[in-house]
Structure 1
C-alpha cells in the first residue's frame, strides 16, 4: 500500500488521507453500477493510500454498506470508515429521522451491514427539524462511550446547529457540497466550523463529475439524479460548460487534469479540508489521488478565481433536506 499525505480532522485529531473516497455512486445516483467493478475500485483506492471511505445507511437502502463490508474483508485495519444515519428510504419515499431513540438501532444495523465492530466517524446525515440537535448528538455520544463509534460528524448543518452540537459533544467533521462551482458554505459555515475546530469534508468536490469534464447532456443514464439538478439543465448547463472550458484551459497550462486542479483548489483552502470525490473507475481514483501532491501557488489560485469566480456559475442545486440549495 502507498502512503499518501494525511490530514487531521476535528479537535480529537482524526487522521485521514488528504483525499477520500465517496462511495454513494457505487450503489445509487449515477445509473447502473457493477458490484465487482465497485469492489475493485475500493481495493485500488486502499492500495493507493486513500484510506478515508464514506458511505451511509441510505445509499442504495443499505446496499452500499453491505458492498463496502465485502470490499473491506481482510482490509478493515487499513481504512478510516465513515457512515451516516438520518436519511431513511422506504416504500413511502425518503424521509429524515434523527430521533434519539432510533440512533442506536441505526448504528447497530450499519455495523451489521458493514461487518465491523466500530465506526470511525459517524455522521448525522441530515438535520431532523422535529428533533433538537442536542438530543440526537447526545444519543450519538452514548455510542462513543460504548466504543461502537470513535468520532462524530454532521452533514449539511447550519452554523447555529454546529454550535449547539459541538457544545454537546466534540464534532470531528462536517460535510457539505463544496467545490469551485458551489461555494456557499464559505459565507457562514466555514468560519463557524473553523472557530469550533471542526474539519470540513466536501462532498461532490468535482461538481458531481461536471468539473472533471466527464458530463455532457447525452452522457447521463436513466436514473442519474443529475438529470433533475438545475445546474445540469438548459441554459445553466450551457453556461456552466463554458466555465468548465476555462477550468480545463488552466489545468492544461499546469499539465494536470481538470479534476486534479479543482481538488487541489479545495486542499489549498486549508489543512482542515478533506474532499471525498466519488467514482467507480480505478483510473479516476488514481487521477484524483494524485491531487494530494499538487500544490497550487498564489498565482495559480488567483488566476483560477479570476477565470471562474464564484459568481460565474449558473443554477441552484438539488439536494434532499440540505442546509441551503439556492445560491446566496
Structure 2
C-alpha cells in the first residue's frame, strides 16, 4: 500500500482507503460478520482511512468501526459525516444545536472523545454561502470534539466555494471515469490551498467493475434500483448520473484499453490515482475478496499516456454531454 499526504492535517493516508456506505445501508442486504471480515482485511492490507456517515444504516457503519477499534491495535482514521439526518434536509437546519447533536451522537457511536475528521454530508448549495456554519465547525474543533473537518459535495461549484473557508481540510467529491469535471479546475485550486481530496463513487456504483449486464437485478433496498432518477437523493450518486444502458455501452468501449493484469475495477481506480491532486480513492467493500481486489490497485503500475488519452476520448464523446455540466 502507498500513502499520500492529506492536505494540511499532517496525516498520511492509504491511497486506496475504504468507504462504508455499502456495509451500512442502501446497497441491499448485508451481514455484519462479513462486513467485519472485510474491515479486518482492509487493515491487514494497509488501509488506514475509513469513510463513514451517521446515516449509513442509522449509525450501523459507525458502530462497526468502533468494534474494529476494539478488536485491533493498529491506529487508523475514521472520517464521518453529518447533516443528512435533517428532515427536511434544508440549509436552515444546519444550526449550532443540530450539528452539535449530530456530532455527539457520532462520538457515542464511534466510542471516541474526538472525531478524526467530520464532513458536512452533501448539504444544500446554500450552506456553502453560510459562513456561520463553518464557524460552528471551528468551535467544535476548539472544544476538542473534532480534530479536523471537511465537506462532501455534489457539485464542483460547492467544492470551490468550500475551500475558501480556511478550516476545510478535505473535500470528498465524485470523481471517476464517468465524472471527470473536477480535474478541470477544482484539482488545481485544491492543490494550491493544500486541501485533501477523497474521490468517492470511484467505481460508479459498481458499473466500472465491468460485471454488470443488461439483465442484472438489484434488491429493492439497493439505491441502484430505487434512485436511478434521483427519487431518494441526488441522481448523480447512482451510476454517476448516467443512464444504465449508456453506462454499460461505455464500459464495453473501455474494456479493450484495460492493461493486462488489471481488472476493470482496478483500472478505474488506477486511473483516478494518476491525478496527483487526489489523496485517496474510497471504494466500498462488503467482502474480503472485494477488499483484496481494491487494495491491490495501489501496487499496480501507472497507466500509459495513450490509455489515458483513449479514456479521455471515450468520456468526451459518450459521457461528457450527459453529466459534465450538471455537477
What's the TM-score bracket when you normalise by the shorter of the two chains?
A: 0.7 to 0.9
Give 1:218's aligned residue: 216
Taking the aligned partners of 2:90 and 2:65, their CA distance within structure 1 comes to 23
Pairing partner for 1:112 from 102, 108, 113: 108
Q: In the alignment, what sits opposite 1:273?
A: 279
1:249 to 250, 256, 265: 256
Q: 1:53 aligns with which of 38, 50, 53?
A: 50
Secondary structure of the equivalent of 1:259? helix
1:236 aligns with 2:243: yes
Alpha-carbon distance between aligned partners in 2 of 1:36 and 1:94, rounded to the nearest angstrom: 32
Where does the alignment leave 5 or more consecutive residues of structure 1 unmatched?
A: 318-324
Kindly state the Cα deviation for residue 26 of structure 1 after the two structures are TM-superposed.
Answer: 0.5
2:49–2:79 contact (8 Å) kept in structure 1? yes
TM-score in terms of structure 2 length: 0.85
Give, in whole Å, the separation in 1 of the partners of 2:284 and 2:74: 21
Separation of aligned partners in 2, 1:184 and 1:40: 35
Query: CA contact under 8 A between 1:12 and 1:170: conserved in structure 2?
Result: no
TM-score (ref. length: structure 1): 0.85
The alpha-carbon distance between structure 1 residues 41 and 310, as it changes in their structure 2 partners (threshold 3 A), is farther
Which residue of structure 2 lines up, in the alignment, with residue 12 of structure 1? 9
1:322 is aligned to none
Aligned pairs for 1:123-272 (under 5 A) are: 123-128=119-124, 131=127, 132-156=129-153, 162=159, 165-216=162-213, 217-227=215-225, 228-230=227-229, 236-251=243-258, 253-272=259-278
Q: How many residues align?
A: 313
Gaps of 5+ in 2: 230-237
Say whether the 8 Å CA contact 2:18–2:47 is kept in structure 1: yes
Partner of residue 300, structure 1? 307
Query: Offset of 1:32 from its aligned partner?
Result: 0.9
Q: Which deviates the most, 146-155 or 158-167?
A: 158-167
The answer to whether the 8 Å contact 2:198/2:282 transfers is yes
Residues 179/158 of structure 1: CA separation in 2 closer, same or farther (3 Å cut): closer
**Conserved 8 A contact 1:206-1:212:** yes
CA distance in 2: counterparts of 1:69 and 1:311, whole angstroms = 45
In structure 2, the residue corresponding to 1:153 is in which secondary structure?
strand
